[in-house]
Amino acid sequence: MEPLEYTNTQFVFVSQELYVIPSMRSLTAEEYVEAFKSFLDHSTEHQCMDEFNKKELPNIMSGLGNGKSTINVLGVGSGTGEQDLKMIRILQAAHPGVLIDNEIVEPNPQHVAAYKELVNQAPDLQNVSFSWHQLTSSEYEQQVKEKGAQKKFDFIHMIQMLYRVEDILNTIKFFHSCLNHHGKLLIIILSDSSGWATLWKKYRHCLPSTDSGHYITSNGIANILKRLGIEYCVYEFPSGWDITECFIEGDLVGGCMMDFLTGTKNFLGTAPPGLRRQLQEALCQPECSSKKDGRIIFSNNLSMIVVDS
Ligand SMILES: C[S@@+](CC[C@H](N)C(=O)[O-])C[C@H]1O[C@@H](n2cnc3c(N)ncnc32)[C@H](O)[C@@H]1O
């Protein structure tokens, strides 16, 4: 008996019984927050950034501010702020006693609330002022342009967020124009050596159309910077994501990981079986992941792109 297929809902026959499979849909902002948390818990994403912070950032930070008494920082797509605060502490260490004016552009209200809570609990940020703009980067850009007077920043960062902006080239162009003389823009993005890059280039047919972000990696950003005629330098750091649970039937954590990977709510429960199988096979390819102590580690290598003003 042939399964029937409709646009929004799938009907399948299993052992002569008719089942209705709910249609595939993208993650809502709240669901994305949950899936992202699960990703962070099982990956070395933040540890990889810590390595960059330890090895390269102090030197980059020491050149900022030009001897001024206040250093202006702008975080774009800062999420819940853990990375921001780590970077601010490095900036404080590089410039003892200097005031840090930190602005944040973050559209997700849950992330903004969590960031504020993190700041409230931090005892060591007396010389730092915080102001949050609960906006997308393009809404912020529009607001700045409407006001007419453009504030300049010594350090701007866009960490793992460019996948979600509408127009990447113009977003980079605008935020680059917000840099002070001798300022730096830090872009952290997936490396072309990551499993994500392979998945997006070679196995795109395994990803559902509900995955609505841009499949952009480091080389794509480098090409944009070249087109804009902007100087930059790239640092590569290894990172991994333990996706073993994705292959355990019925595992809740694995299901959540597949949702993050595909940007789809309940991917394992709603994707056609063929697509599920194809994606699971692609994830095991050596260009995507490696085996370590019986675990499957998806490559999540990151590129840290430091852009000059
Ligand atoms: C993957 S998280 C990264 C968060 C944080 N930078 C980190 O590395 O931990 C991406 C963040 O970008 C935010 N975001 C999504 N679309 C955005 C947009 N158009 N403009 C600014 N931020 C955006 C999300 O709400 C989310 O907090």
* Per-domain residue ranges of the chain: 26-308
**What is the predicted pLDDT for the residue at 92?**
96
Write the CB contacts of 246 (distance below 8 Å, at least 6 apart in sequence): 254, 257, 258, 261, 280, 283, 296
Rounded CA-CA distance 87/81 in Å is: 10
| Residue nearest ligand 1's atom 15 by CA | 164
What averages of pLDDT result for each successive group of 10 residues across the chain (309 residues)? 41 55 82 89 97 98 94 97 97 96 95 96 94 98 92 97 94 98 97 95 83 88 98 98 95 94 92 91 95 97 97
| Residue nearest ligand 1's atom 18 by CA | 136
For ligand 1, the distance from its centroid to the CA atom of residue 79, given in whole angstroms, is 5
Give one DSSP letter per residue of 80-105, joined into a string. Answer: TSHHHHHHHHHHHHHSTT-EEEEEEE
Ligand 1 lining (C-beta closer than 6 Å): 36, 76-79, 83, 105-108, 111, 136-137, 159-161, 164-165
Which of 145, 155, 217 is CA-nearest to residue 185?
Answer: 155
Residue 249 assigned ligand-binding role: no
Counting from 1 in the atom list of ligand 1, the atom nearest the Cα of 29 is: 25
- The one-character DSSP state at 43 is B
Write the CB contacts of 281 (distance below 8 Å, at least 6 apart in sequence): none
Residue 266 assigned ligand-binding role: no
| Residue nearest ligand 1's atom 1 by CA | 160
3-state secondary structure of 228: helix
**What is the predicted pLDDT for the residue at 203?**
85
Q: Which CATH class is domain 26-308?
A: alpha beta
